[in-house]
Amino acid sequence: MTIDPWSPGHPPQPEPAPLDQTPLALEPSESELRELADACFAFVEEQRALTLDELAARPAPPLMGKAPRLDACRPASLASVLDELRAATEQSWNTGSPRYMAFVPGGGLPTAVFGDFLALALNRYVTLQGMAPGLARVESSVVRWLCDLVGYPDSAFGVLTSGGSASILTAVIAAREARLAGADLRQAALYVSEQGHASVHRAARAAGLPPDATRVVPVDTQFQLDPEALSAMIERDRWQGRRPFLIVASAGTTNTGSVDPLAPICDVARRHDLWVHADAAYGGFFILTERGRRLLEPLHRCDSITLDPHKGLFLPYGTGALVVRDRAHLVRAFARQAGYLRDLATEGPDPDAADLSFELSRELRGLRVWLPLRLHGVSAFREALDEKLDLAQHASRALAEDPRFELVSEPQLSTVAFRVRSGRSAELLESVNASGRALLSSTLLRGDVAIRLCILGFRTHLSHVDEAIAAIRAAAT
Ligand SMILES: *Cc1c(COP(=O)(O)O)cnc(C)c1O
């Protein structure tokens, strides 16, 4: 009898290990490793075949029962371990599916996997350059590329993070140290629009700021921050004895992909001597395209920028970045002081990654970005992102033409938010997702449910968007 460890209420019971199983040595032989590699590769290819259409894409089933216990006592064969993993993988939203347009897709480029494979296999210590200067520079070349992409000067630098949330926390701390060092944080104030990402509020709390430090600025009809309202709030707060220090502008909101008016916001910041952070986690890489560049050109004026390669560069989850206009601010906030690291004093032109964020030991994250860029070339990414902008225009036209739907805003990037005029958006979403033809998600905009198509998967093409629209129309009938 096989036991389904996920079945509700079933006590967690490990699969019995085959009796003839000898545990794999910690240092396997080459042929053992090859066997592992072949089996894992076959598993991955089987999963990719499922991802590559034309099978249904559906939400994960609801969580039931307890998580199975890890059986670490009786070593199992790779085949049985992969069977377990297969069963676990089946119960998931397939975020790599071309039909996946929910939340913010990334996709997970297959080639990036080998960047991680190499990075983990080499396992050199790269956050202190002295330990592996050559490899550390592979990663810093990625950071430099990001700085150049946004038009930053030579003073700029940055750090690869685990994602946008880690980037914004790092930025808030850097801004706090730059503008409020030694000040009473109880009076601190930072500004973000009501469409700003929730990670901004969380970062402010984690950076030691009181809950009311985060001031929420209203948006206009296109969900863009209102710079006049921002300026008035800053003046009022100053007058009341607060210490405004930071504005977080969205360069592509999660809800609608709206880009805040970056240049006017930078003008307000300059007038009041505040730090501007641009949250470009979702939207940033559209700067590779001509249309994106027109919207995002002022990014170079911002003091710091979140970029999420696991969104706009289609990389696997766990790949974020923070770049700052003046690297000295990161060093001031994060430079380490540890006697036991004294043998590794840095004299290179770039600071150690360990001096640019709160992380110390970690993987050579840069290879995951570096390898795909080297293998595919940047124009492959530019073309893919340009296609996503076209697809969003296509989807928004198709929905706007249908009298049963209304667009919530004109898409500036690759996110289309709409409502069912009859007011049954939540029901429509459920029925589209149950169809297996497209995976969408919803949000609340001005207090009402809106459905979003976020078109960012590198595998998502015209046929998939047309299929999504057909599914939406069918569900509305
Ligand atoms: C995804 C997202 C974040 C958070 O980034 P994570 O990588 O999920 O931590 C922040 N801001 C915006 C606009 C996002 O879309």
% of the chain beyond a pLDDT of 70 = 95
Please write the tens of the pLDDT for every residue from 239-287. 999 999 999 999 999 999 999 999 999 999 999 999 999 999 999 999 9
Tens of pLDDT, residue by residue over 287-314, are 999 999 999 999 999 999 999 999 999 9
Q: How far is the CA of 254 from the centre of ligand 1 (A)?
A: 8
pLDDT band at 1 (very low <50, low <70, confident <90, very high): very low
Give the atom of ligand 1 at the shortest distance from the alpha carbon of 251: 13
Q: Judge if the beta carbon of residue 308 lies within 6 A of ligand 1.
A: yes
- The pLDDT assigned to 16 comes to 58
458 in ligand 1 pocket by Cβ < 6 Å?
no
Cα(226) to ligand 1 centroid in Å equals 21
193 lines ligand 1 (CB under 6 A): no
Q: What's the gap in Å between 214 CA and the centre of ligand 1? A: 18
**Tens-digit pLDDT profile for residues 367-392:** 999 999 999 999 999 999 999 999 99
Pocket test for ligand 1, best of 160, 199, 219, 223 (most atoms within 8 A of CB): 199
Surface-to-core class of residue 372, CB atoms within 10 Å of its CB (0-12 exposed, 13-18 middle, 19+ buried): buried
pLDDT value, residue 348: 77
In SS3 terms, the chain reads as CCCCCCCCCCCCCCCCCCCCCCCCCCCCCHHHHHHHHHHHHHHHHHHHHHHCCCCCCCCCCCCCCCCCCCCCCCCCCHHHHHHHHHHHHHCCCCCCCCCECCCCCCCCCHHHHHHHHHHHHHCCCCCCHHHCHHHHHHHHHHHHHHHHHCCCCCCCEEEEECCHHHHHHHHHHHHHHHHHCCCCHHHEEEEEECCCCHHHHHHHHHCCCCHHHEEEECECCCCCECHHHHHHHHHHHHHCCCEEEEEEEEECCCCCCCECCHHHHHHHHHHHCCEEEEEECCCHHHHHCHHHHHHHHHHHHCCEEEECHHHHCCCCCCCEEEEECCHHHHHHHHCCCCHHHHHHCCCCCCCCHHHCCCCCCCCCCCHHHHHHHHHHCHHHHHHHHHHHHHHHHHHHHHHHHCCCEEECCCCCCCEEEEEECCCCHHHHHHHHHHHCCCECEEEEECCEEEEEEECCCCCCCHHHHHHHHHHHHHHHC
165 Cα to the center of ligand 1, angstroms: 6
Residue 244, ligand 1, Cβ within 6 A: no
Local confidence band at 15 (pLDDT 50, 70, 90 cut-offs): low
Between the CA of 344 and the centroid of ligand 1 the distance, in Å, is 34
Is the minimum distance from the CB of 285 to ligand 1 under 6 angstroms?
A: no
pLDDT at residue number 361: 96
Of 12-21, 103-112, 164-173, 399-408, which range is least confident?
12-21
> What atom in ligand 1 is closest to the CA of residue 196?
13
Q: Give residue-wise pLDDT tens across range 434-476.
A: 999 999 999 999 999 999 999 999 999 999 999 999 999 999 9
Confidence band for 58, pLDDT divided at 50, 70 and 90:
confident
Ligand 1: which residue has its CA nearest to atom 12?
Answer: 281
Which ligand 1 atom is at minimum distance from the Cα of 168? 10
Report which protein residue has its CA nearest ligand 1's atom 3.
Answer: 164
279 lines ligand 1 (CB under 6 A): yes
Residue 9 has pLDDT above 70, yes or no: no
Q: What is the dihedral of CA 277, 282, 287, 288, to 10 degrees?
A: 140
Q: Is 197 in the pocket of ligand 1 (CB under 6 A)?
A: yes
Tokens at residue 50, please?
């499922």
Predicted pLDDT at 20:
55
Nearest CA owner, ligand 1 atom 2:
281
Gap from CA of 197 to ligand 1 centroid (Å): 7
Query: 163: Cβ below 6 Å to ligand 1?
Result: yes
Q: Does residue 201 have its Cβ closer than 6 Å to ligand 1?
A: no
Mean pLDDT value across the chain: 94
Distances in whole angstroms, Cα of residue 441 to Cα of each of 89, 417, 453: 20, 10, 7
CA 25 to ligand 1 center in whole angstroms: 40
pLDDT at 337 over 60: yes
Burial pattern 444-462, b for ≥16 Cβ within 10 A else e, equals ebeeebbbbbbbbbbbbee
